[in-house]
């Protein structure tokens, strides 16, 4: 990498959903080829930072970019994003050598990092990772889709606003602090948190029967750890 951020290319490396063994061989090789890793970090994610740092090969420098606070509303989000772009541009311009950004799970799924880097004038080379969606299915030993069926991947907010499309049998929900699954009591749910870590939590069943337990377990875990990474699959049950 040279000194001009507008002409640089950086790696975006998916490091998997939690278990260090879920980092792919391609990701490990890419990490071994870089000189510096740039990471966005919030003030309360020391545990995540330590887990990420443990994956770095010896000799790779870590440059921490303090993630700016994010307010609510479209204007606040736009300001936050613009600040992120500026911070990326500044951080990359200040470093020499081959650089990379790490992304939990897969960088292409519910992660805006690639777009931020492009807005900063950077070229990107992406290494895919094992996503939380794939990890969830693996831990339950299920397929995300059913034969001939469609799958929707969405957020809790969008599911609440748009509803569950009639033509879609299975919905994967990410980023849901409001427990939107409670609106679908007859569906089956496969819920997982902290996937691939020692604190992994897994619950499944008919929503009407397990929703209170999921809410209780989720709340207690968030209180204990200070943060929550969870996702779930909702599955329509055929009548009869």
Which of 114, 130, 146 terminates a domain? The answer is: 130
- In terms of domains, do 141 and 226 share one? yes
- In terms of domains, do 82 and 152 share one? no
Per-residue pLDDT at 7: 61
CA 169, chain centre distance (Å): 23
- In terms of domains, do 126 and 39 share one? yes
Q: What is the mean pLDDT of residues 174-202?
A: 96
Which of 101, 130, 159 terminates a domain? The answer is: 130
Residue 146 is part of a domain; what is its CATH number? 3.30.950.10
**Rounded to whole angstroms, how far apart are CA atoms 75 and 65?**
22
- In terms of domains, do 28 and 118 share one? yes
Number of domains within the chain: 2
Where residue 5 falls among pLDDT bands split at 50, 70, 90? Answer: very low
- In terms of domains, do 118 and 102 share one? yes
Q: pLDDT tens-digit profile of 47-63?
A: 777 888 888 888 999 99
Residue 191 lies in a domain: yes
Residue 107 lies in a domain: yes
Q: pLDDT tens-digit profile of 85-138?
A: 999 999 999 988 899 999 999 999 988 899 999 999 999 999 999 999 999 999
- In terms of domains, do 153 and 122 share one? no
- In terms of domains, do 95 and 168 share one? no
- In terms of domains, do 111 and 166 share one? no
- In terms of domains, do 87 and 156 share one? no
pLDDT at 2 over 50: no
- In terms of domains, do 45 and 67 share one? yes
- In terms of domains, do 126 and 224 share one? no
pLDDT at 6 over 70: no
Residue 123 is part of a domain; what is its CATH number? 3.40.1010.10
Residue 21 lies in a domain: yes
Q: pLDDT tens-digit profile of 156-174?
A: 999 999 999 999 999 999 9
- Provide the domain limits for residue 194: 133-235
User: Mean pLDDT over all residues of the chain?
Assistant: 90
Residue 123's nearest CA partner among 114, 112, 132 is: 114
Residue 240 lies in a domain: no
Which of 130, 153, 185 terminates a domain? The answer is: 130
- In terms of domains, do 38 and 154 share one? no
Residue scoring higher pLDDT (67 or 124)? 124
């Amino acid at each position: 990498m040279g000194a001009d951020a507008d002409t640089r290319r950086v790696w975006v490396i998916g490091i998997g959903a939690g278990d260090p063994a879920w980092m792919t061989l391609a990701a490990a090789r890419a990490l071994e080829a870089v000189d510096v890793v740039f990471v966005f970090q919030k003030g309360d994610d020391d545990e995540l930072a330590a887990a990420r740092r443990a994956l770095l090969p010896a000799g790779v420098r870590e440059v921490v970019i303090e993630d700016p606070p994010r307010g609510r509303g479209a204007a606040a989000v736009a300001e936050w994003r613009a600040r992120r772009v500026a911070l990326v541009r500044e951080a990359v311009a200040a470093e020499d050598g081959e650089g990379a950004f790490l992304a939990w799970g897969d960088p292409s799924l519910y992660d805006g990092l690639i777009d931020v880097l492009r807005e900063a004038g950077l070229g990107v080379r992406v290494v895919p990772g094992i996503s939380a969606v794939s990890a969830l299915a693996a831990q339950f030993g299920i397929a995300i889709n059913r034969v001939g069926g469609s799958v929707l991947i969405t957020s809790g907010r969008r599911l609440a606003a748009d509803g569950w499309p009639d033509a879609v049998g299975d919905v994967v929900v990410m980023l849901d602090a409001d427990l939107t699954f409670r609106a679908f009591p007859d569906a089956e749910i496969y819920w997982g948190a902290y996937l691939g870590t020692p604190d992994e939590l897994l619950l499944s069943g008919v929503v009407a029967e397990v929703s209170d337990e999921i809410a209780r377990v989720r709340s207690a875990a968030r209180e204990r750890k200070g943060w929550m990474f969870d996702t779930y699959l909702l599955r329509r049950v055929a009548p009869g």
